[in-house]
Amino acid sequence: MSGTVTGLTCSVCGSHLDIAAPLSWKCPNATDADRHHVLDFDSEIDVFRPTDDENPFLAYREYLAVDAYGAALGLDTAIRISIIQELDDAVRAVDGTGFIRTPMKRADALSDELGFTPDGGIWIKDETHNVAGSHKARHLFTELVYLVMTERAGVAPWKTPSERPMLAIASCGNAAIAASTLAAAVQWPIAVHVPVASATSVIEKLESLHADIRVCPRLETDPPGDPCVLRFREEVAAGAIPFGVQGTENAWCLDGGRTIGWEMLKEIGHRVDRIFIQVGGGAFASSIASSMRNVGTHPKMHAVQAEGCAPLSRAWEHAKNNGGTRDAGSRWSECMWAWEEEPYSLADGILDDETYDWIGILNGMSDTGGSPVVAAEDAVIRAHELASRFTDISVSPTGSAGLAGVLQIRNEIADDERIVVVFSGVLR
């Protein structure tokens, strides 16, 4: 056995869930009045030897919590593999692309422009080639596999596909498209809660995928926070399944995101000095931190937010001053709360009012000697300009925001350091 996931434990209150507990995606102590809980996987990897399968969910299957869940439900190895393959085929039929190992290579022209030596430079993990054009589908696929395994094992409360409850998500763009793509692949109804200012291209794409689009204006009676998340939570309270990318709402999204980190580390992990990850709700960076922790590779991790919305950096400073930046979950109210000002940035996909998955990110930065980076808006703009001029990747400003973090602290980075950034979110 190379890896074992035995259960889930809340990073805030310590509550434990057995891996075999069906339809368990949030801490049992989380309530409408207390959302400050998030589950983490109880996972150990003694030998990290993934297969060479092009599909990351097969290559890293033994290390995924969802595979351990299926095994605990009594599904044998052949059935668990076939579920992944069948779902991947269904996604490919809708999107034209299935789940494959995404490319990562040194950006030579960009590295030269930024003054790195041939030994150092910028390596770009290109997630624009992923399903639905971003990394979001990786998070959501393990949620889908989890649901289908629950059905296949006969422990779902619904008996036929026609009785399936609605899926629900809150998203301003890439996650909504990814979730709707996966839902369309298995003909599962989905309610997508989007902001008033959603791009026309996003709405048109969602319509083509037959999503139930719910536009969410901020109501005078709303508490602080994203109105899309508030409406999404109301839908879940009414019986919908959370199918999004906030670990606080469905911890299984944090499982699939780890495959991206494992791919990066398998390829050049032992030679990486720093990894810059753009942060909105935080599931991606939290997953990357988990992937590094599990295999014992520790390049410095930097979580990047725009100056127009930076609740994570604020949480880091508060945690540092009231007990330390690691294991700060019990101090949630003192460290993390919704951004009070009107968020702004060209990188509009990372303007989440709150970094929901902040605990895992702070742990990751603490463990690796990293730190948060707040990118000035001119760095966000320049990062996208450089991505357009010096790479052949059609990436959105949100997707290139990790590079903005490099620009922001470039004078602190040695010229021979090896830097990884992730480009995720195709320019639409």
Give residue-wise pLDDT tens across range 363-406.
Answer: 999 999 999 999 999 999 999 999 999 999 999 999 999 999 99
Could you tell me the two tokens for 257? Answer: 């995101």
- Which of 253, 269, 292 delimits the end of a domain? 253
Could you tell me the two tokens for 175? Answer: 């996650």
Give yes or no: residues 296 and 229 share one domain: no
Determine, yes or no, domain membership for 99: no
Give yes or no: residues 238 and 149 share one domain: yes
The arithmetic mean of pLDDT across residues 15-25, rounded, is 95
The arithmetic mean of pLDDT across residues 118-123, rounded, is 97
- Which of 227, 253, 279 delimits the end of a domain? 253
State the CATH number of the domain containing residue 79.
3.40.50.1100
Indicate whether 153 pLDDT > 90.
yes
Give the pLDDT confidence score for residue 197 in this predicted structure: 86
d(CA 309, CA 203) in angstroms, rounded, equals 24
> Domain count of the chain?
2
The arithmetic mean of pLDDT across residues 255-272, rounded, is 87
Give yes or no: residues 210 and 318 share one domain: no
Q: Domain of 114?
A: 104-131+257-423
| pLDDT class of 85 with cuts at 50, 70, 90 | very high
Task: Return the exposure string of 282-299: e unless at least 16 CB atoms fall within 10 Å of the residue's CB, then b.
Answer: bbbbbbbbbbbbbbebbb
Give yes or no: residues 264 and 387 share one domain: yes
Give the pLDDT confidence score for residue 10 in this predicted structure: 97
Indicate whether 1 pLDDT > 50.
no
Could you tell me the two tokens for 152? Answer: 């296949």
**Phi, psi torsion values for 422, nearest 5 degrees:** -115, 125
d(CA 69, CA 65) in angstroms, rounded, equals 6
Could you tell me the two tokens for 256? Answer: 């699939």
pLDDT tens per residue across span 363-372: 999 999 999 9
Give yes or no: residues 21 and 112 share one domain: no
Q: Report the candidate in 50, 41, 45 with the shortest Cα–Cα distance to residue 16.
A: 41
- Which of 253, 275, 296 delimits the end of a domain? 253
Amino acid letter for position 388:
S
Q: Which DSSP category does 63 fall into?
A: G
The arithmetic mean of pLDDT across residues 150-170, rounded, is 96
| pLDDT class of 297 with cuts at 50, 70, 90 | low
Mean pLDDT of the chain: 94
Q: Report H helices in 369-413.
A: 377-390, 401-408
Give the pLDDT confidence score for residue 2 in this predicted structure: 52
Give yes or no: residues 113 and 248 share one domain: no
Q: Using DSSP bridges, classify how beta strands 3-10 and 16-18 pair: parallel, antiparallel or unpaired.
A: antiparallel
Strands annotated E in 282-344: 300-306
Give yes or no: residues 336 and 408 share one domain: yes
